[in-house]
Amino acid sequence: MSESSVRVVPIAMSSESTVVAEFEADPASASRYQSEADLEAELIRLLGEQAYEYLSIRSEEDLVANLRSQLEALNDVVFSDEEWKRFFTECIAGERDGIVEKTTRMQEDPVQLLTRDDGSTRNIRLLDKDHIHNNRLQVINQYEAEGASPSGRVRRHRYDVTVLVNGLPMVHVELKRRGVDIREAFRQIDRYQRESFWAGSGLFEYVQLFVISNGTLTKYYSNTTRFQHLAEQGKKQGRGRKTSNSFEFTSWWADANNKPIADLVGFTRTFFAKHTLLNILTRYCVLTAERTLLAMRPYQIAATERILNRIETSKNLKQLGTTAAGGYVWHTTGSGKTLTSFKAAQLATRLHDVEKVLFVVDRKDLDYQTMREYDRFEKGAANSNTSTAVLKRQLEDPSARIIITTIQKLSGFIKANRGHAVYDGRVVIIFDECHRSQFGEMHTAITRAFKRYHLFGFTGTPIFAQNAGSGGNPRLKTTEQAFGEKLHTYTIVDAINDKNVLPFRIDYINTVRDPQNGASKQVSKIDREKALLDPRRVHDVVRYIREHFDQKTRRNETYRLDKRRVAGFNSIFATESIKAAKTYYDQFTVQQVGMPEAQQLKVALIYSYAPNESAEEMEAGLLGEEDFDPGELDASSRDFLEHAIQDYNDMFGMNFDTSSDSFQSYYKDLSLRLKNREVDLVIVVNMFLTGFDATTLNTLWLDKDVRAHGLIQAYSRTNRILNSVKTYGNIVSFRNLEEETNDALALFGDKDAGGVVLLKPYAEYYGQYVEKVTELREQFPLGTPIVGEAAQKTFIKLFGAILRLRNILVSFDEFLGNDVMSPRELQDYQSIYLDLHAEFRRVDAAEKETINDDVVFEIELIKQVEINVDYILMLVAKRREARGGVEDREIKAAIDRAIDASPSLRNKKDLIKEFVDKLTIDDDVAEDWRRYIQAARTAELNQIIAEEQLKPDETRKFIEEAFRDGAIRAAGTAVTRILPPVSRFSRGSNHSAKKQTVIERLTAYFNRFYDLM
């Protein structure tokens, strides 16, 4: 590729900018190669052009020898054999070190202590973070590693391409030929992590970043990709283990204009540019307090570097204390602004003579949430404050470098401390959600007090001239006027195209005639709200929500969330006023009287005092701010809130009330229960509609006029990524907001944003669904075997497409009663699909590559509609009473079909079948099942203990803790303690293989019995 075929314009502090300003691909490059071997050769050639040293290393012995020479060169030292052996076993390849320990070492402690033969000590750098070009980059391919399959069988793996940094494998690339789904490359890495990265000295557990590509599409991700998502699937991070579902959190690389660089050639030219790769590894990865590694996305890196560049250049241009020294970042809601602001704040504190970084938020709840997020990124990195007095102490403390405060507290400090010395220091002030902070006198007070400031704002919904209010300070109308020029943009259209957030699906439900759209348009807002709160309309709205709740939130379908199995998603109901919130809360109470508890919705209510919105806020469409002290509420509203909080206390065994501190605790508890899927629906006025993130939230019920900022903010509560089942955010509006929605999307996306941000019409999906089902029946009629690999692959692809379409359709009201597949037909096809899944995964690795190369199974979409054990036991009870007749045989067939169609029950079929066959007419089904499963659990665990020669008491305790916690603890030393004694001189691959075999067997045992408890 010629230099002219890729146009690279640096954007940040120098030509060492991490993200290129603009990228142009060479159109001819796509025709250069097709096979996987050609892809690999081309990648290595391109890396060679960028001065990566190619090594022909195939064995661990050669890998370790190269590591030694690289560390000697980096540190200008020569190890004696004894020194190297000691340093390698103690500081690089500790027996009890896994991915977590090795990642922590590289990210936080890359300088290790060498004890020399003469007793002296010396610092040895594994990675030079201060001078990144001191690090040497090498590339190897087809490295061979010996590991163990889930059955304990030894197998050899050959890795595609690995980048060594100072001799340590730190970036691994897995390739598939063009046309193959790159999820297969992801899954291959997953197999390597389970089966061989840990083998031998475990050096491949030092890999920080993975790259997957089929030539046409290329993505990257960290070694602990979205650990939160793994917890939601009920699996712990162990030896880097991931599920295929975390593929949803892999990232595209892009230029600074958010144009993805997907082709492997362009990706290699940019992502693998030496300074870019080393910057990502040393500056733009964040190891969280939970010991998970987050690799920043290109738009986050670009925004961070533009902030840092502005801080440096504005000082040189003597622009401190003006808007020219700052600017604003427009990154859409849900795109990770907190991580971007944290990294910008963290790196800003390392710049010369920057004394403080103030992160200013606008509400106490955002203060609390931001502090938690910053603490997650780096424990103790930021200092939050509870009062102006605490803020004063922090501003005077040189060690408090990053301070989180509310704009109200900062304004209070300024009023009480005129002429304070902190105003003369060089201070970076970052405003969260800066579209709100620019209104009022507080913004002006802050910029007048500080003399040498850099002012930066983050917002997902900026104020432009066309949507600015008409009152107030004419020099503070727009975000640009208040904060300076726009430094970087990442809109909701960009985020949805990148699959970083979900699109929306909107229902406009017309329960009764809205007077605004009827004959009586010329009515006051008060009269209109009175009409909309007509008891008949309120009754109909609540009835609609109750009748459609299960459908919209998928309440009858289950998934794993933080070690628990939960049902469906949850929702927020946004109302126009406190009066409306109270009215709706009462109506839910009335309509749920006498309903079985299992069918009732867990409804909570929260609101507080909100001063009247200013004209500027109303014109801009901002949501009103509610205080955190309900003491300002009128007596009736406070009494009602007290009553609703008592209902909440009764529901969850808590003791909150409406006093100021207790109300704040109520808010925090409610927000946590929303995130943990313990509450079904929360009725709000404005709370939770901005700044609140819960991945379990998928539906917003809306009986409220929203527009512009407020509309995008409210809608965006629903579109956080959780799993492959949650494919969009549901908006159910009881008011006609179609025009307001289109206007807001055009303002904060572009004129064509609706086609990206909103789902297509029902008819389009339904037509495709009917077409696919018809094709399925014609090509693969039930009862006819699917013969041959080609036919099996066609079936898998076709049924997977049906599952994806059905997953979208089930939330449309029109789909109810119009599914062209009967439940039995769906179960039968699911059984065939799962049989093929089991067969394909059963093949040994050597054969798997030819069979599995382009097969992707949508198992998670089947899991969310599977039958649970309670349903099976209900059928068992029916069969007990129908012994011997036609109905008996039909029920037994129904039980078999249900088990075969369920991914989680298939590995328990022998248990269920034996239980069904031995059950007598006198048995208590539930109690007998409990005793039967307990006996089976004990027997199978005893068998594993005997065959693997495990320590009995320690193993039983280990398993009980796993059932209690909801996951097998594969990381750390927990598993090591149950293994049979091993001589400390016999460490090696045999010990590692034994440990992995035990983990696999206990995990299979856990998965077999956990759902039956």
Which CATH number does the domain housing residue 337 bear?
3.40.50.300
Tell whether the torsion through CA atoms of 195, 199, 205 and 211 is positive or negative.
negative
750, 769: one domain: no
- pLDDT digit string, tens, across residues 572-609: 999 999 999 999 999 999 999 988 887 889 999 999 88
Half-sphere exposure of 24 (CA within 13 A, CB side): 8
The alpha-carbon radius of gyration of the chain (Å, integer) is: 30
- What is the CB neighbour count within 10 angstroms for residue 520? 12
Residue with tokens 């590995």: 907
Is 449 in contact with 424 (CB distance < 8 Å)?
no
Q: Which residues contact 918 (CB under 8 A, 6 or more apart)?
A: none
Half-sphere exposure of 744 (CA within 13 A, CB side): 25
DSSP track, 717-771: TS-----SS--SEEEEESS--HHHHHHHHHHHT-TTTHHHHBPPPHHHHHHHHHH
Residue 480 to residues 205, 328, 486, 677, 920, Cα–Cα distance (Å): 46, 7, 7, 39, 77
What's the DSSP call for residue 508?
E
Rounded to 10°, the helix 989-1009/183-195 angle is: 120
801, 776: one domain: yes
Distance in Å from the first CA to the final CA of the chain: 60
749, 828: one domain: no
Last residue of a domain, one of 460, 490, 520: 490
Q: What pLDDT sits at residue 871?
A: 60
Rounded to 10°, the helix 909-918/925-948 angle is: 130
Q: Which residues contact 910 (CB under 8 A, 6 or more apart)?
A: none
- What's the token pair of residue 658? 């409406």
Residue 968 to residues 71, 863, 935, 955, 975, Cα–Cα distance (Å): 36, 20, 21, 12, 9
414, 462: one domain: yes
Angle at 998 between CA 997 and CA 1000, to 5 degrees: 65
Q: Which residues contact 250 (CB under 8 A, 6 or more apart)?
A: 186, 212, 219, 220, 221, 225
Q: What pLDDT sits at residue 369?
A: 64
| DSSP count for the chain of H helices, then E strands | 37, 25
Q: Is 684 part of a structural domain of the chain?
A: yes
* Total of domains in the chain: 6
Residue with tokens 């902030």: 307
DSSP track, 374-437: HHHHSTTSEEE-SSHHHHHHHHH-TT--EEEEEHHHHHHHHHH-TT-GGGGSEEEEEETTHHHH
Q: What pLDDT sits at residue 627?
A: 72
DSSP track, 144-182: EEEEE-TTS-EEEEEEEEEEEETTEEEEEEEE--TTS-T
pTM summary value: 0.76
Is 908 in contact with 960 (CB distance < 8 Å)?
no
- pLDDT digit string, tens, across residues 407-432: 888 888 999 999 899 999 999 999 88
Length of the chain: 1013
- What is the CB neighbour count within 10 angstroms for residue 499? 14
- What's the token pair of residue 943? 């068998």
- What is the CB neighbour count within 10 angstroms for residue 474? 9
| Coil/strand/helix, residue 603 | strand
Q: Is 118 part of a structural domain of the chain?
A: no
- What's the token pair of residue 601? 């919705």
Q: What pLDDT sits at residue 124?
A: 94
Q: Is 469 part of a structural domain of the chain?
A: yes
Is 572 in contact with 688 (CB distance < 8 Å)?
yes
What is the residue range of 842's domain? 762-863
- Find the DSSP H helices in 521-599: 525-532, 535-553, 578-591
303, 420: one domain: yes
- What is the CB neighbour count within 10 angstroms for residue 668? 15
Q: Is 186 part of a structural domain of the chain?
A: yes
656, 797: one domain: no
Residue with tokens 């109308």: 477
739, 792: one domain: no
Backbone angles phi, psi at 119, to 5 degrees: 90, -10
What is the block-wise mean pLDDT of the chain (1013 residues), using blocks of 10 residues?
37 65 71 74 94 93 95 95 93 85 91 91 94 95 76 74 96 89 85 82 92 93 59 36 56 93 93 96 88 91 95 91 92 86 89 88 63 66 72 88 84 90 92 63 84 91 69 69 90 86 85 48 59 88 91 76 72 94 94 87 91 61 73 91 95 92 90 91 92 88 89 90 82 89 81 71 89 92 85 87 85 84 83 76 45 52 52 65 59 69 67 72 69 84 88 86 70 74 53 76 80 62
Q: Which residues contact 403 (CB under 8 A, 6 or more apart)?
A: 356, 357, 358, 359, 382, 383, 384, 385, 391, 394, 395
237, 386: one domain: no
Distance CA 614, CA 471 (A): 9
- Find the DSSP H helices in 22-141: 36-49, 60-75, 81-87, 99-108
What's the DSSP call for residue 92?
I
Q: Which residues of 521-538 are buried (b: 16+ CB within 10 A; e: fewer)?
A: eeeeeeebeebbbeeebb
Q: Is 522 part of a structural domain of the chain?
A: yes
Q: What pLDDT sits at residue 620?
A: 61
Is 493 in contact with 326 (CB distance < 8 Å)?
no
690, 626: one domain: yes
Q: Is 114 part of a structural domain of the chain?
A: no
238, 275: one domain: yes
What's the DSSP call for residue 91?
I
Distance CA 751, CA 157 (A): 50
Q: Which residues contact 587 (CB under 8 A, 6 or more apart)?
A: 538, 539, 542
Distance CA 232, CA 695 (A): 10
Last residue of a domain, one of 863, 888, 914: 863
Q: What pLDDT sits at residue 453?
A: 92
What's the DSSP call for residue 254?
B
DSSP track, 278-322: HHHHHTSEEE-TTS-EEEPPHHHHHHHHHHHHHHHHHHHTT-TTS
Report how far Cα 576 is from the mean position of its chain's Cα atoms: 31
- What's the token pair of residue 896? 């078999």
285, 376: one domain: no
Distance CA 419, CA 449 (A): 8
Is 740 in contact with 776 (CB distance < 8 Å)?
no
* Pairing status of strand 327-331 against strand 486-490: parallel
648, 507: one domain: yes
Q: Is 91 part of a structural domain of the chain?
A: no
Q: What is the CATH number of the domain that holds 843?
A: 1.20.58.2040
Q: Is 67 part of a structural domain of the chain?
A: no
Distance CA 336, CA 498 (A): 13
- What's the token pair of residue 987? 């460490």
